[in-house]
Structure 1
């Protein structure tokens, strides 16, 4: 899925979010409960927004389904939905912060119906703290070091999210699918 295509739909349905924040929300929900369905995510997206066309709903459901599959895959192919590398670094950093905000919202909105965060491992709680810190990134940074930092944070998030998904969806060490 392309960021701009999803962002156009998110803007059209007046969700008040970006594609990055919407995707982060879906991923957060799936990390806490991999049985979360696209309907719950869409209801959160449309909470303050308007209607969604049948075609746009199908695209968003496909995004959710693909995200769920990639998180559960052993291939480590999960990617954050962010603007392309051609976009200015400041826009990508801003979208990364929005993705993290959406992720935290998704964790919180789904945690109410699952295991309390107080029962999570120290590693899981530390990752969530890191993600909260990433919401404060300076979007005005423009340098080769900032580009490298952005790439490192993105890779860390990919691995951290897969770890959280696996850990929070396991029962006695077995992943629940």
Structure 2
């Protein structure tokens, strides 16, 4: 990886400076959803992902552009790695699960904007999207035990795989079919 994932703090600061009503986790989820659904990563990506054509392009050296560069690089790498910009392991269970659910809400929005009403999903892709929708509607719990901690790790791993599966269905599959013709 040549493009490192910016910190949540850097992304949060960039979000505040633009006056956006989102979190770093939700923005990264929206960006990855947008890209997984076939959306363009061009200079207008922020306006497209936020569904606000008045938003400016992210500066080439900004944390938002580094976020985009990292997302594009991870999806193109095909090594099944996907970094989620969620609360750190030392944060409370409520903060970590809340940021993961924010990420899912963002992903659904971005995916829906780019993929449309009838994306070309496999059966597994359809199930994965439905599961992400359930997680997006979830609310974080205030405390938990080791089982809850383990479940959150499993949920995060599921989300990584689901996002990559959806990208495969909507972007890589069609790209592969076009290259064969």
TM-score, length-scaled by structure 2: 0.82
Q: Which residue of structure 2 aligns with residue 61 of structure 1?
A: 65
Aligned residues: 173
Deviation at 1:41, TM superposition (A): 2.6
Structure 2: 5+ residue stretches without partners = 1-5
The yes-or-no answer on 1:155 pairing with 2:160 is no
1:15–1:46: 8 Å Cα contact kept in structure 2?
no
Deviation at 1:161, TM superposition (A): 1.0
User: Can you list the C-alpha shifts for 1:112-148, whole angstroms capped at 9, x where unaligned?
Assistant: 3xx822x422211111100001113331242211111
The yes-or-no answer on 1:25 pairing with 2:30 is yes
Q: Which residue of structure 2 aligns with residue 134 of structure 1?
A: 135
Structure 1: 5+ residue stretches without partners = none
Q: Which shows bigger deviation, 163-172 or 39-48?
A: 39-48
**Alpha-carbon distance change, 85 to 176 in structure 1, aligned in 2, over 3 angstroms:** farther
Q: CA RMSD in A?
A: 2.8
Tell me the SS of whatever aligns to 1:86: coil
1:71–1:78: 8 Å Cα contact kept in structure 2?
yes
